[in-house]
Amino acid sequence: MIDQIKTYLLDLQADICTQLEAVDTEATFIQDKWEKPDNKGDGLTRVLTNGKVFEQAGVNYSIVRGDDMPASATALRPELAGRSFTALGVSLVIHPRNPFVPTSHANVRFFLAEKEGEAPIWWFGGGFDLTPYYGFDEDCVAWHQNAKDACEPFAKGTYAKYKKWCDDYFYMKHRDEQRGIGGLFFDDLNEGSFESCFAFMQRVGNSYIKAYKPIVQKRKDLQYSDHERQFQLYRRGRYVEFNLVYDRGTLFGLQTGGRTESILMSLPPLVRWEYQYQPKANSPEAKLYNHYLKPQAWVDEN
């Protein structure tokens, strides 16, 4: 079970990096293999920096083992307390240089929790979401159509369910804001067979680059000024806030003694905050707040 998933994840990581390098044309991913002591885990972190298109892109594979599930996991599932665990996945965050190209995030993962004398508990999770700085309706529609297509072979209502879960998850309560336009988010998936759940995770993982690459290619050469750049850096602050305050993957990694450099590779290389920023009325920046950061049906959910 673990070997099968590991093979898929490493292939997925390699394919995404190859395709992103082809889009950037200048920078390439460095590969950083790492290993934790006492057979507690290992991974392959791939990072691209200072590219023509991507200011920073991180695509991380890791497998982590532990004797006790951390609080970030057992708080929602107390039946996991006292179990050893194996967790493996690919997680990525892409920070483009051009403010008209959205930031994107994707993650696919598998957990196995075991306890002597009891049946193992396993589940899949993952998803992908898009964070524009300057929105385009056609990009939002294409992104969500791809998400819906990924769910098509599975149960009716799968896209609607995981689209709403994504909207709910990537919500910053302290700002009363969505992080972006959403996509898919699922967790605790163990309904039916292992094979069907694994197939769904693969559909989601494979769909990410199909959705993101065309958007990057369409927007990467648009002209922008320092005004758009400064707004991009300001909005990147929201990304930092979410990942450090709410993100369960970040908390899980830190609570299990994961590799800090790999866990925090999701943070943007440059960012700024501004006290009580307010966009000008009827500006493209105001449209981001009033239109794109409001959950909506970008495609027919049925």
> Which tens digits make up the pLDDT trace of 246-300?
998 888 888 877 788 988 989 999 999 999 999 999 999 999 999 999 999 999 9
The span from the CA of 270 to the CA of 17, in Å, is 22
Question: Is 227 a known ligand-binding residue?
Answer: no
Question: Is 91 a known ligand-binding residue?
Answer: yes
DSSP at 240: H
Tokens of 159: 């896209």
Residues with a known catalytic role: 105
| Single-letter residue type at 296 | Q
Question: Is 259 a known ligand-binding residue?
Answer: yes
Q: With CA atoms as reference, report the closest residue to 167 among 186, 182, 151.
A: 182
- Give the lowest-confidence range in 95-99, 186-190, 202-206: 186-190
- Side-chain-side CA neighbours of residue 231 (13 Å): 23
* % of the chain residues with pLDDT over 70: 98
Q: Where are the strands (E) in 97-134, listed by range?
A: 103-114, 121-131
- Distance between alpha carbon 298 and the CA centroid of its chain, in Å? 19
Better-scored residue on pLDDT, 117 or 96:
96
Q: State the average pLDDT over residues 108-122.
A: 90
- Give the lowest-confidence range in 37-41, 51-55, 232-236: 37-41
Q: Which residue ranges form the domains of the chain, and what is each CATH number?
A: 1-292 (3.40.1500.10)
Task: Look at residue 75 in the predicted model and tell me its pLDDT.
Answer: 66
Q: State the average pLDDT over residues 162-185.
A: 97
- Give the lowest-confidence range in 1-10, 18-27, 79-88: 79-88
